[in-house]
Amino acid sequence: MSRRTAILVLSVDEAHLLEHSLPAAAAQPGAELFVIDNACTDSTVEVAERCGARVLRLSRRVSYAAALNAAIGATGGELVLLLNADCVVEPGFVAALREAIDLYAALGSVAPKLLRPDGEAIDAAGMVIDRRRKNTLVGHDEPATAYLVAAEAFGGDGACVLYRREVLEACAIGGEVFDEDLELWASDVDLAWRARLLGWRCMYEPRAVGWHMRFYSPTTRAGLPEAHRRLQFRNRLLMMAKNDAWSDVRRDLHRIAFYEVLALGHVILRERHLLGAYREALRALPATRRRRRVVQAKRVRGARPPFGLRAPR
């Protein structure tokens, strides 16, 4: 079944990356390419137009979540491919994702196989939230020859994931598909979690292969600015406060509590700047609770997020 697909690529002064990623995206049959110009000062517009992309210009610089929300609201297409500027897809990429999502009516998203630029290792084969509520990339830094079989996954990494538009619209809270209070880190995990609560599933499709130059990963976290690490730490807490239900937490309470004790110990001994993340989470909690009421009201009866689910190696 042929479906109209919108490819959304966000640029934050990333014209040098678009030079590589846009030609590959533009070559995907049956897809319309959009570049979100997040108040760029480089040659983003020129590169986008040269590659045949439509440009959505934002008059001022906004967060990752806000920029994608604006783009989702301004575009059409039954399917939406979220694609980072530093991700290059192979021929047949979109076709493979579309074939996968057409397999089951309950599939709300499809996660591709992303490789590191050297082609020797996997960048991501989907993502997972374990029973401690810690999210991570599946297969990161494992051999490229692993994860060869299509299977269900918890969700797709925001660097590159295909969604049904109806899923994005159903997940929206106050018009926001991505939670703008989260800004960036974990906003993709949060979206995948909310989709799960609405009864939608995700599949990992290894036939759809892309190459991703990830500037942050579990192996490079130490080089991330402190402000970003605090945001990441804070957002995990807010994501739990918004999406978790007691019926899910009580099964994993001992795991969550043990992890939180270890995390606090790490903060005190190694990264004291993260103490500010607890204060920031408390300040954001009232807005998170308002969102929580909407999330839990929408939750499909019997929907239980499959914490720990990942595609088999």
Per domain, the residue ranges of the chain are: 5-212, 222-298
Beta carbons within 8 Å of 41's beta carbon, 6+ residues apart = 13
- For the cut 50, the answer to whether the pLDDT of residue 25 exceeds it is yes
How high does pLDDT run on average in the chain? 95
DSSP letters along 241-258, please? HHH--HHHHHHHHHHHHH
For 126, the token pair is 């989907």
Cβ atoms of residues 31 and 6 within 8 Å:
yes
Q: H-helix or E-strand containing 267?
A: helix 246-269
C-alpha 283/C-alpha 296 separation (Å) is 21
Cβ atoms of residues 25 and 9 within 8 Å:
yes
pLDDT tens-digit profile of 270-280?
999 999 999 99
Inter-CA distances, 101 with 1, 2, 8, 30, 98, Å: 10, 11, 18, 15, 5
State the pTM of this model.
Answer: 0.95
pLDDT tens-digit profile of 95-150?
999 999 999 999 999 999 999 999 999 999 999 999 999 999 999 999 999 999 99
CATH fold group of domain 5-212: Spore Coat Polysaccharide Biosynthesis Protein SpsA; Chain A (3.90.550)
Confidence band (pLDDT; 50, 70, 90) for 214? confident
Q: H-helix or E-strand containing 33?
A: strand 31-38
C-alpha 210/C-alpha 261 separation (Å) is 38
C-alpha 311/C-alpha 3 separation (Å) is 25
C-alpha 212/C-alpha 54 separation (Å) is 23
